[in-house]
Every structure is written in structure tokens, then in C-alpha cells.
């Protein structure tokens, strides 16, 4: 498993022009990859899920994650598409980290995390897919498991800790402008480095197979390598820790050669959806400023105009947010962000009836869209329609119990439901889930212990709390 790290400047200092994005081709079935055997370090699926969930909680606690259902699901769709070409099964989740540096990593069990800097630096979605595919290949080839043997006696959770720690360290060191592949083996002694370089080349090769099979342009992986190389060439100092995983000209040449051997994927000059995604990310992560957005918006750049509406919304300037949203409504009639931003503008103005009208119809036509459902639930909670809001959210919680945003909405709804039996118990249970998946395991256990005391006399509720409490306590003590 590897992390891709590249320190970069804020997007506010970068001119973004019309970019090229490639249309996915249709490819059925899974990609065949070499059988690496069943070495001593291989993890079973249950252990991998535990590792993935542990890292999920660590990242949420230790790093500035963005809680945005629409943004998360855009990249989860890409991640899931690539995972479908493997034998790894369903993903645990995807985390967007608020950090301008380029950084991404995959974890056994189906977890992927990426920095906003990776999104804003990419020219198209295929480049991001290439990074995802590379990281997923590290997992499918069990590089994480094989690395355990090099860390004898330290355990797999120690390796996971190194991964998260490296990401945090990169965030703290903004002066290092380097582009390198790195990961859990970065602390290995020199005689073991050739092994990790071979892993990088293997991940390049197999990752390209995955991304192509999922419908993405393999040339974009080679393109992104060249972007990384150009950034590295402008750096005068690289720490030894990162020099252990260089992006060599050999790797770049091999990537381009492999991409050229695959059938050509059709492309189009400009992709509005990706530009919207890119600029929305820039605003959400504070990587775009008003002057930059205005300059592009004055050129009738639709993505910038929509992003400017989001920018003013976050500033609390609802008049300007509405004015900029009105400019693009007719051009983006079917884009989900339009009703999402419109609803937030009305909520900010406490216009609850208008907010309800803005979101309810489209949510009913797209009931499986998590962002729309959660925004509608937020409106319903503000209107005091607690039961309907809870019903909307619980459908998604049943599919993914690690959904922090969903649990937070349920907690808000329960807080308002004064007539609900054992209201305080429900609030504490929902709060415990928010705390647990946010990485505050001790606080979550305390919340459940409090709920346990309040639920005495209700056998069904007590049994449910006891079971969840035991699971949290066991996971917290568990060692691998």
C-alpha cells in the first residue's frame, strides 16, 4: 500500500484552463491479475475490514475531513467502479481530506482517502481514477500484508498508524514541494527498498489494467506521472524519507508504453461536470478566493459562477449567492448542485417553505441520491417533521453504518422529538455512533454507558445497547 504525496500551492495561485477529460468505454467483467500466492502475511477479509474501519476512524479524528455527501459520493462512484474490477468486494467508504497537497491512499478492507489537492490539481477525472487504481492495486497485490513481514512484531495496526502518521506529517510540512510515491514501507532499511520499488511498478501495471477495465483512459495515469515529475524537478530539497520512493523516468516510460498498447479511449475537449466538481472542491476546501472566481465568472465560466454561488453561501452573503445561482440555473437544469445550493440559501434565510419546495420534488425523483435525501431531511428537521426525516436517513444508515453525516442527522432529529419514549436514550445512542466513527471511541463508549443506565427497565433497548457497547469495547481492545 502506498500514499501519493505532492506538496503544492493553493489553487488560488494557479490558472485553470479548459481541461480535457476522457469518456469511459464499456468493459464487462473483472480484470485478471497475477496470483501472488498465499504468503505468511496475507490477511483474511475480516481482519482487512477491521483494519479499514480502524483507519477510517483514525483519519476522521486526526485529519480535517470534509463532510459533504455530494462530494464524497462523486468519488465513491469512481472508487466503486474500479473496485468492481477486483476481488475486494464492497468499499468501506471514501474520505475527502481538506488539504491542498496531493495525497491519496487505499487501505485493505475497501477504504480510500484523497486530499482536495489531488482533485484541484487534476486535469480530468481519469487522472484521479489513475491514482485510485494505483492505490487499489497495492491492496489487491497484498503489499500491505507483505509489508507486515518487514515489520516483525509490530503488527498490522502499527503499519496502519504509519500510513496515517505519514499523511499527517505531510500536511504539517508545507515547505516541501515534492512528488513521490510513498507508503507504509518508507521506514524500511536500504536493503529492502528494491522490494518496495518493485511493488510500485507492479501497482502501476495492474492499476492501469483496473482503470482501463473500469472505463477510464489509461493515458491519464501516464499524464499524471509526468505532471508529478515536472513538479519534482522544481524542488531543490527532498527529505531522505521520501527519496525511498522516487518517481523514476523508467516508471514514467513504462506507464506511457503500457497506455499506448491499449485501445484508444475517446475524449472530449471540455467536461463541464468535472470543472464543476473541481471548483466546488476548491471553494469547499478554501483553495479558491473571490477575486479568482470573479475573474472566471465574468468570462461566463459556468463552473466558476456556480462555485461563486457556493462561495458567497459559505460567507453568509445570501443575496450574492442567489444572484450567481440564478445566472446558471437555466444552463444546469439537471445538475444536483443547483437544488442543493438553492436549499441552503433558503435555509440560511430561514425560508423553510421555500427550502422545502426547492428540494422535495427532485429528491422524490432521485430517492437513492444521498445528498438530496440528507438535504431534504435537514429541511424536515428544521420544520419539525422528525419522523419523516428519520425515515429518509435510516435507509442510508442501514446500507452504511459508518455514515457520520447520517448519524448526526438522526441525533438532531431525536433531540427535537420530545414525545419519543426514551428520547434521551436515542439521542445518546446516535451521538455514540457519531463519536465512534469520528474516531472518539472512548467518548462513544461513555455515551453508551450513560444510555445503558437510562434504559434500565426496557429489555429490548437495553439488549440493543449492550450488544453495541460490547462490540465497541471489543474492537477497541482488539490487536492484530
Q: How many angstroms separate the CA atoms of 130 and 86, rounded?
A: 15
With a CB cutoff of 8 Å and minimum separation 6, the contacts of 82 are 129, 132, 133, 136, 210, 211, 214, 216
The two beta strands, 267-268 and 21-22, are: antiparallel
Does residue 94 sit in helix, strand or coil? strand
Question: Is residue 149 marked as binding?
Answer: no
Cell 414525545, residue?
Answer: 419
Q: How many angstroms separate the CA atoms of 305 and 288, rounded?
A: 13
Q: How many angstroms separate the CA atoms of 102 and 63, rounded?
A: 14
Is the CB of residue 92 less than 8 Å from the CB of residue 27? no
- What is the Rg, in whole angstroms, of the alpha carbon atoms belonging to the chain? 23
CA-to-CA dists, residue 453 to 459, 462, 475, angstroms:
12, 9, 22
How many helices (H) and strands (E) the chain has is answered by 22, 7
Compute φ and ψ for 396, nearest 5 degrees. -80, -35
Question: Is residue 18 marked as binding?
Answer: no
Q: What is the 3-state secondary structure (H, E, C) of 241-257?
A: HHHCCCCCHHHHHHHHH
Does residue 83 sit in helix, strand or coil? helix
Is the CB of residue 247 less than 8 Å from the CB of residue 229? yes
Q: Which of the residues are catalytic?
A: 135, 204
Q: How many angstroms separate the CA atoms of 417 and 421, rounded?
A: 9
Q: How many angstroms separate the CA atoms of 83 and 297, rounded?
A: 37
Question: Is residue 143 marked as binding?
Answer: no
What residues are designated binding site for Zn(2+)?
134, 138, 200
What residues are designated binding site?
134, 138, 200
Amino acid at each position: 500500500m502506498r500514499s501519493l504525496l505532492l506538496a503544492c500551492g493553493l489553487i488560488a495561485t494557479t490558472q485553470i484552463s479548459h481541461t480535457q477529460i476522457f469518456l469511459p468505454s464499456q468493459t464487462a467483467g473483472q480484470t485478471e491479475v497475477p496470483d501472488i500466492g498465499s504468503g505468511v502475511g496475507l490477511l483474511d477479509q475480516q481482519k482487512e475490514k477491521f483494519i479499514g474501519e480502524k483507519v477510517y476512524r483514525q483519519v476522521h479524528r486526526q485529519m480535517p475531513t470534509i463532510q459533504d455527501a455530494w462530494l464524497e459520493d462523486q468519488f465513491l462512484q469512481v472508487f466503486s467502479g474500479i473496485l468492481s474490477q477486483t476481488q475486494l468486494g464492497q468499499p468501506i467508504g471514501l474520505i475527502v481530506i481538506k488539504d491542498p497537497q496531493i495525497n491519496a491512499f487505499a487501505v485493505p478492507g475497501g477504504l480510500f482517502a484523497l486530499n482536495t489537492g489531488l482533485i484541484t490539481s487534476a486535469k480530468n477525472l481519469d487522472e484521479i481514477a489513475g491514482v485510485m487504481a494505483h492505490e487499489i492495486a497495492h491492496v489487491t497485490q497484498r503489499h500491505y500484508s507483505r509489508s507486515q513481514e518487514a515489520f516483525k512484531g509490530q503488527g498490522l495496526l502499527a503499519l496502519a498508524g504509519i500510513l496515517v502518521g505519514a499523511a499527517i506529517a505531510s500536511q504539517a510540512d508545507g515547505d516541501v514541494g515534492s512528488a513521490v510515491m510513498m507508503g507504509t514501507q518508507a521506514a524500511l532499511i536500504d536493503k529492502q527498498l528494491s522490494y518496495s520499488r518493485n511493488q510500485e511498478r507492479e501497482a502501476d501495471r495492474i492499476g492501469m489494467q483496473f482503470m482501463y477495465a473500469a472505463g477510464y483512459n489509461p493515458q491519464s495515469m501516464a499524464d499524471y506521472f509526468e505532471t508529478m515529475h515536472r513538479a519534482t524537478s522544481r524542488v531543490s530539497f527532498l527529505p531522505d524519507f521520501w527519496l525511498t520512493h522516487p518517481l523514476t523516468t523508467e516508471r514514467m516510460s513504462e506507464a506511457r508504453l503500457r497506455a499506448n498498447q491499449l485501445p484508444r479511449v475517446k475524449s472530449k475537449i471540455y467536461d463541464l461536470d468535472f470543472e464543476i466538481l473541481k471548483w466546488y472542491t476548491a471553494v469547499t476546501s478554501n483553495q479558491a478566493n473571490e477575486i479568482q472566481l470573479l475573474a472566471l465568472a465574468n468570462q461566463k465560466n459556468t463552473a466558476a459562477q456556480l462555485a461563486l454561488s457556493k462561495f458567497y453561501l459559505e460567507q453568509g452573503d445570501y443575496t450574492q449567492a442567489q444572484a450567481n445561482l440564478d445566472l446558471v440555473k437555466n444552463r444546469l437544469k439537471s445538475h444536483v448542485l443547483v437544488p442543493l445550493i438553492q436549499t441552503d440559501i433558503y435555509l440560511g434565510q430561514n425560508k423553510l417553505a421555500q427550502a422545502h419546495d426547492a428540494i422535495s420534488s427532485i429528491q422524490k425523483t432521485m430517492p437513492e441520491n444521498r445528498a438530496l435525501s440528507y438535504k431534504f431531511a435537514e429541511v424536515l428537521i428544521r420544520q419539525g417533521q422528525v419522523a419523516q426525516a428519520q425515515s429518509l436517513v435510516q435507509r442510508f444508515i442501514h446500507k452504511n453504518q459508518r455514515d457520520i453525516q447520517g448519524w448526526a442527522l438522526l441525533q438532531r432529529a431525536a433531540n427535537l422529538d420530545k414525545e419519543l419514549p426514551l428520547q434521551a436514550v436515542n439521542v445518546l445512542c446516535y451521538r455514540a455512533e457519531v463519536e465512534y466513527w469520528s474516531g472518539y471511541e472512548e467518548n462513544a463508549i461513555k455515551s453508551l454507558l450513560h444510555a445503558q443506565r437510562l434504559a434500565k427497565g426496557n429489555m429490548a433497548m437495553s439488549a440493543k445497547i449492550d450488544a453495541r457497547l460490547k462490540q465497541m469495547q471489543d474492537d477497541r481492545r482488539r490487536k492484530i
